[in-house]
Structure 1
């Protein structure tokens, strides 16, 4: 089993590090991308700069963060590049977080009827998957003369299995095709951005999380987010809001909006899909003075000394 020359690997890894640093939706600047071309500036023997891995698309059978998946890498090569792949192959560089150590098998199919290839071997090193090809029928004779019957080859590389990164977002792969002399015949190229999505709902985080004190009549809006086991936020969730068991009847919810009404303590709870999240402690104190009540004996006569100790009760607008 062999790998392309060392400088070949290092050049592609260096190029991939630019891509990996721009995962999760960030774009690659024209300056950074321009720095990757021409390939022979790194010391590689480059083919025509017009040869590309066109329509490069990556699909995962299970795109959830932290799961394992079968990956399908689809792209189009020109006839000229396709015919030069015997004992050459492909290299694909993956961003940090993808576990290539789980790969058990790699297969290739192409719709070009003139030539058949199979995977001779593959090797994984530092986020780089290198695939070497050989003729499907070694004694098939010389390569056919170029003609227009197969102008392009639509190629699918099937990789089983790869461990997904634990961070959701958009990712990019880098890819090149090389011949038996380690000469680059197509690429390097980016695939179209593909998504790693959050896994199943694991926890709900309610904000504010700190303990708070409200006056009766105050209104506060709570918020909640659902997350998978790796902390990736799950969007488009709907939450039910209520006070936790053991809380005093300190107020009421309208959606996520809470109005404090009665002196006491409690906790706000958000629930979705059977998973609950809880706020910090909510303490409700009386609001502004709204009413005064004088409590005296019913036998009291105006202008006479109090028959007993009088009391003055102060209330807010909610009877606290």
Structure 2
């Protein structure tokens, strides 16, 4: 997509192009029509100059500049140059002494006329260049917009395909789990399915920002927790409550954050609520100044602060948080609250 600077230039160019666009029929008119129109414009301003001659006696060329700008802008460069020559001849003959003559009293008298021709030609060329530049910028912006739309559609297609492949893998793992009797192996497969589902949620909500692929945290985390509510909690008497700020996450942030939530919720369910104990799990994701704070809290049995052995899920969470450059804090009892603080690295959206 277009960056802020490019977008501003594009908008300015499109507005300028609209000014020029309505004069397209004039630029496409036959050559003789264009030069008659240019002559009419110059003569109109010549009449104004004649009417205000007592006020503009020392500035014979002043009112011809609007005629040159109009013809260059509304018709083309050729008529702009023609307007310069015609207006110079009119001013020379009617307003430069000796009047009604092309004679010049001295070399010094020719200098203002020469300067007018040079400046007027420059104005005509600049106006033409401005119009051409506006047209090129508009065409370039249109190409970029088409390219951006193509990229967006390609991203959607790729995300859809990847999500379907991940869903297929998840389904195959669940089918394989039906053939296993080992509880430990079943837990490993369930954990793998959960992590694959996290990746599927990321790809389902990945979209194109200004210069990066981004994920909206609220939709992503709420959908992820809804999936955990259905697949992990099931009919157990445990409520999963979610509160999420809407933050744009890069794809490199979203995957580890989703995996951390998946592991912490499963750990809370596994260790905090034994023997079908009822309770609540709270997932909170907020933006605080320059940090992102993820909290997973439960009102279960808590943890043993003297325990030194950590499970695989805890090690995975620690590794993921370290990958994001964050830190972990464990609070409780009562219950258990895991707070991970991550640096906020906003992608370009």
Q: Identify whether the pair has TM-score above 0.5, normalized to the shorter chain.
A: no
The bucket for the TM-score relative to the shorter chain is under 0.3
- Determine which structure has more spread, i.e. the larger CA radius of gyration: 2
TM-score (norm 2): 0.21
TM-score (norm 1): 0.22
Higher helix share: 2
Higher strand share: 1
